Structure 1
Amino acid sequence: MPTNIITTDDLRDFKMELLDDIKNLLSQQSSGTIKKYLKSSEVMDLLQVSPGTLQNLRINGTLPYTKIGGIIFYDAEDIQHVMDKNRIHHKMDL
């Protein structure tokens, strides 16, 4: 089975893609085209994460959620807050 090596550049690219997705989410939200509450499948599509990753974000308390019956809902504002809180700023030398 081949092994994939993940470099810091790969992680940086992933972070930038994720931030772009969140920016798109915010622009959709501000234009009123996005719902206030999202289901798990919608959050997984939005953030491009697996069900296991989303579950880990719930379990470790990173991403707040509401469970009604068997359906889990996420507040779009909470998702944005988590992304803002975990933003990393790097100074680039030119």
Structure 2
Amino acid sequence: MTAIELITKEDLREFKGELLKEIKQLVQPGQGQSKKWLKSAEVRKLLGISPGTLQNLRINGTLRFTKVGSIMYYKLEDINKILEGEG
């Protein structure tokens, strides 16, 4: 006989809170930490490129990104690889 577990609305609310907290930690720098994720404008400024060039880097797979809602985020680690010529 298999046990049946029920998920309550409170369980879902708690999960939502934990998930949102973790996402915020990923996309926002904490105290004393360097930023791990950058938005498109920050990447363009760092690399000195236009929006079209950034789009081409995404399309051809040179620069990986994560889209949250309508905002694209890029790992600082990946940007550093491009700056060092390893991308």
Judge same fold: TM > 0.5, yes or no: yes
Quick one: which amino acid aligns to residue 41 of structure 1? A
**Could you tell me how far apart the structure 2 residues matched to 1:77 and 1:38 are?**
10
User: What's the secondary structure of 1:55's corresponding residue?
Assistant: helix
The structure 1 segments of at least 4 consecutive aligned residues displaced by more than 6 Å after TM superposition are none
Partner of 1:74: 74
Query: Please, what TM-score do these two structures have when normalized by structure 1?
Result: 0.53
Change (3 A) 1:66 1:59: same
Partner of 1:49: 49
Query: Please, what TM-score do these two structures have when normalized by structure 2?
Result: 0.57
Quick one: which amino acid aligns to residue 47 of structure 2? L
Q: How many residues align?
A: 55
Q: Which has the higher contact order (CA 8 A, sep 6+)?
A: 1
RMSD between superposed Cα atoms in Å: 1.7
Q: What 5-or-longer segments of structure 1 have no aligned partner?
A: 1-31, 87-94
**Could you tell me how far apart the structure 1 residues matched to 2:46 and 2:56 are?**
16
Give the share of equivalent positions with the same residue, in percent. Answer: 58
Quick one: which amino acid aligns to residue 63 of structure 1? L
Deviations 1:3-61 (A, max 9, x none): xxxxxxxxxxxxxxxxxxxxxxxxxxxxx674110000000011110000000000000
Q: What 5-or-longer segments of structure 2 have no aligned partner?
A: 1-31
User: What's the secondary structure of 1:64's corresponding residue?
Assistant: coil
| 2:22 corresponds to 1:40 | no
